Amino acid sequence: MSALQPSELDRPTLARDRSAADADLKSVSAALRRAEFGDRLRSLALAAPLLVLLALSFGIPIVLLLSRAVYDPTIADALPKTTKALAGWNGQGLPGDDTLAALATDLKDTKAKGTAYELAKSLNARLPGARSQVLKTVRKLESADGQAALDALKSVPFWSAPATWPAIRSGTHSLTSFYLLSALDLRWNADGGIERVPPEQAIFIQVFLRTFLVAASVTLATLILGFPLAYLIANVPKGLAAILIVAVLLPFWTSILVRTAAWTVLLQKFGLVNDFLLFIGIVSDRLDLMYSRIGLIIAMTHIQLPFTLLPIYSVMRTIPPSQMKAAYSLGARPFTAFRRIYIPQVFPGVMAGCLLTFILCLGYYITPALIGGASDQLISNFIANYVNVELNWEMAAALSFILLVFTLALFGIFARILGLDRLKLV
């Protein structure tokens, strides 16, 4: 290693042959390199079990989920003959009778393969209303063969509508941008360009905006509540500061679910918050705080407050009070000193706390599910709903994809500007 300088090794070898000394030196450094390599291997071997476990239990699941957003073989699998026949179609007008016949055969086969419902659902995602049409056609085809089947197919106007075939063709490519675009309320139009979906189908942009709005409101509320408290804790005598910090940590250590449960009790129509508001006379009638935006923001603010406060406090603790006194003695008015001396120094802490809270709010699930109303569900709730209720994995995956991109981008900014060290809260 670097501690062994060549000159030091040379000294005892003066009497010896120069080339033998060189050989010694080489074998020593080779041995050191081997030892160092062995050390690295051992370190890697120590870290490997957890890394492998995380890759299996966390990495692969997420990659698999995200891949569902862009990979959907349902239509290609259910309609193999149609897929082949469509390869020669130029996309203009309606495809020929041979394609229709292939479709009739494929649709008949879906009954036997049990893929009819999957196909209907997948096509319905691209063409609203397609589900019933597909299932109706499959029923009609049950007792028809050859020309009769073709006629039966043609008797359903859905299959000669202009929008149907481009949708089928886009579905026969297993790799698809359809779901990712849908998650942003976009779609391909007939000319191959990207357009917004009609307003009555557009939901996701609104959900993303709502998620950002709730996250921003909660971040702002935690800052307004947390900044003065952090300042107080940083500037009172040590003993009192320790008590105040415990008061911040107690809720921080209580699980999100338990705190959400506490808020559902408090926010009831006949709960304590309403009792209190009536008592001090702010309201004359009980408010509906449960299943409301305001209730959701109150509960989320309570849960996130320590996440904003602790990074701010840890920076404030390092600012010596003598600086402000120096500013006063130089004639600065309190507000000027605060703005020009204090704020620039606490800014990294404020950024860290606010970014952390904002990032965590984007992924909120439990609190909106329990306290928010139907119009307060955030993006995470939609993801869960697509999995649990709609059984539409592709859409859940696409929404996850976009949520993850936002989260990681913000986290990248956090790590880049503020460093990962600010993340530790324990």
Partner 1 sequence: MLLSPYPTTGERIRVTLLWLWCGLVMLFLLVPILIPVPLSFNSGAFFIFPLEGLSTRWYEVVLGTQRWQSAIGNSLIVAFGTTLIATTLGTLTAIALSDEKFPGRRIIMPLLLSPLIVPVVITAVGSYLFYARVGLASTYAGIILAHTALASPFVVVTVGASLTGFDRNLMRAAAISGARPLTSFFRVMLPLILPGVLSGAAFAFVTSFDEVVVVQFLASASQRTMPLEMFIGLREKLSPAITAAATLMMALSIILLVVANLLARRGRKASNR
Q: Which of residues 186-225 bind partner 1 (CB under 8 A)?
A: 225
Helix pair 146-154, 97-113: axis angle to 10 deg: 100
What is the size of the binding site for partner 1 (CB under 8 A)? 88
Burial class (CB in 10 A: 0-12, 13-18, 19+), 396: buried
- Does position 20 interact with partner 1 (CB under 8 A)? The reply is no
Whole-angstrom distance, CA of residue 216 vs CA of residue 188 = 32
Nearest CB to partner 1, comparing residues 87 and 257: 257
Minimum distance between the CB of residue 386 and partner 1, rounded to whole angstroms? 9
Binder among 228, 242, 345, 347 for partner 1 (CB under 8 A): 228
Which one among 61, 96, 128, 146 touches partner 1, defined by CB under 8 A? 61
Q: How far apart are alpha carbons 377 and 293 in whole angstroms? A: 9
- Give the nearest distance from C-beta 51 to partner 1 in angstroms: 7
Three-state DSSP at 71 gives strand
- Residue closer to partner 1 by CB (options 197, 241) is 241
Contact set for partner 1, span 128-157 (CB under 8 A): none
Q: Which is nearer to partner 1, 168 or 350 (CB)?
A: 350
**28, 54, 391, 417: residue in contact with partner 1 (rule CB under 8 A):** 54
Q: Is 137 or 304 the residue whose CB approaches partner 1 more closely?
A: 304
In the complex with partner 1, the residue whose CB is nearer, 30 or 224, is: 224
CB of 28 to partner 1, least distance (A): 18
The least CB distance from residue 411 to partner 1, in Å, is 5
Identity (one letter) of the amino acid at 368? P
Note whether 323 and 341 are within 8 A (CB): yes
Cα Rg, the chain, nearest whole Å: 32
Distance CA 96, CA 245 (A): 75
Specify the residue, 105 or 222, whose C-beta has the smaller distance to partner 1: 222
- Is there binding between residue 383 and partner 1 (CB under 8 A)? yes
Check binding of 35 to partner 1 (CB under 8 A): no
Q: Which of residues 400-419 bind partner 1 (CB under 8 A)?
A: 400, 403-404, 407-408, 411, 415
Q: Which of residues 316-375 bind partner 1 (CB under 8 A)?
A: 321, 325, 328, 334, 359, 362-363, 365-366, 369-370
Burial status of residue 155 (CB atoms within 10 A of its CB: 0-12, 13-18, 19 or more): exposed
Alpha-carbon span 397 to 187, nearest angstrom: 17
The secondary structure of residue 421, as a DSSP letter, is G
Of 242-271, which residues contact partner 1 (CB under 8 A)?
244, 247-251, 253-266, 268, 270-271
Contact of 351 with 417, CB cutoff 8 Å: yes
Q: What is the 3 state secondary structure string of 149-206? A: HHHHHHCCHHHHCCCHHHHHHHHHCCECCHHHHHHCCEEECCCCCEEECCCCCCCHHH
How far apart, in whole angstroms, are the C-alpha atoms of residue 395 and residue 398?
5
Answer yes or no whether residue 31 interacts with partner 1 by CB under 8 A. no
CB of 389 to partner 1, least distance (A): 13
Q: Which of 9, 181, 387, 418 binds partner 1 (CB under 8 A)?
A: 387
* In the complex, least distance from residue 178 CB atom to partner 1, rounded to whole angstroms: 19
